[in-house]
Structure 1
Amino acid sequence: MAYEPKRPSNQSEDNNRRLYNPYQDLNVPIQTLYKLPTSPEFLFQEESVAQRRSWGENLTFYTGISYLSGASVGASKGLVDGVKASEPGDTLKLRLNRVLNASGQTGRSLGNRAGVIGLLFAGMESGMVAVRDTDDVLNSVVAGLGTGALYKAASGPRSAAVAGAIGGVVVGLVVTGKQFLKRYVPI
Structure 2
Amino acid sequence: MAYIPKPSDHNQDDHDHNRRLYNPYQDLQVPIQTLYKLPTSPEFLFQEESIAQRRSWGENLTYYTGIGYLAGAGTGAGKGFIDGVRAFESGDSMKLRVNRILNGSGQTGRQFGNRAGVLGLLFAGMESGLVAVRDTDDVVNSVVAGLGTGALYKAAAGPRSAAVAGAIGGMVVGIAVAGKQALKRYVPI
User: In which range does the TM-score fall when normalised by the shorter chain?
Assistant: 0.7 to 0.9
| Structure 2 residue runs without a partner (length 5+) | 6-18
| Structure 1 residue runs without a partner (length 5+) | 5-13
8 Å contact kept, 2:85–2:97: yes
Q: Taking every aligned residue pair, what percent have the same amino acid on both sides? A: 75
In structure 1, the partner of 2:9 is none
- Quote the Cα distance in structure 2 between the aligned partners of 1:23 and 1:54: 45
Query: SS state of the match for residue 57, structure 1?
Result: helix
In structure 2, the partner of 1:140 is 142
Query: SS state of the match for residue 172, structure 1?
Result: helix
Deviation at 1:37, TM superposition (A): 1.7
Deviation at 1:23, TM superposition (A): 7.5
8 Å contact kept, 2:74–2:113: yes
Q: Deviations over 1:129-163 (max 9, x none)?
A: 01001111110000000000000111111111111
In structure 2, the partner of 1:21 is 25
Aligned length: 175
Deviation at 1:19, TM superposition (A): 4.8
Q: How does 1:6-45 map to 2 (within 5 A)?
A: 19-21=23-25, 24-25=28-29, 29-45=31-47
Residue type matched to 2:25 in 1? N
Q: How does 1:14-163 map to 2 (within 5 A)?
A: 19-21=23-25, 24-25=28-29, 29-163=31-165
Deviation at 1:50, TM superposition (A): 0.5
- Quote the Cα distance in structure 1 between the aligned partners of 2:25 and 2:4: 35
Deviation at 1:2, TM superposition (A): 6.8
- Quote the Cα distance in structure 2 between the aligned partners of 1:82 and 1:23: 69
Q: Deviations over 1:9-33 (max 9, x none)?
A: xxxxx97xx955267445xx43233
Q: TM-score, normalised by structure 1?
A: 0.86
Residue type matched to 1:82 in 2? G
Deviation at 1:3, TM superposition (A): 7.4
8 Å contact kept, 2:81–2:101: yes
Query: SS state of the match for residue 160, structure 1?
Result: helix
- Quote the Cα distance in structure 2 between the aligned partners of 1:152 and 1:19: 66
Deviates more, 1:172-181 or 1:74-83: 172-181
- Quote the Cα distance in structure 1 between the aligned partners of 2:101 and 2:67: 25
Runs of 4+ in 1 over 4 A off after TM superposition: 1-4
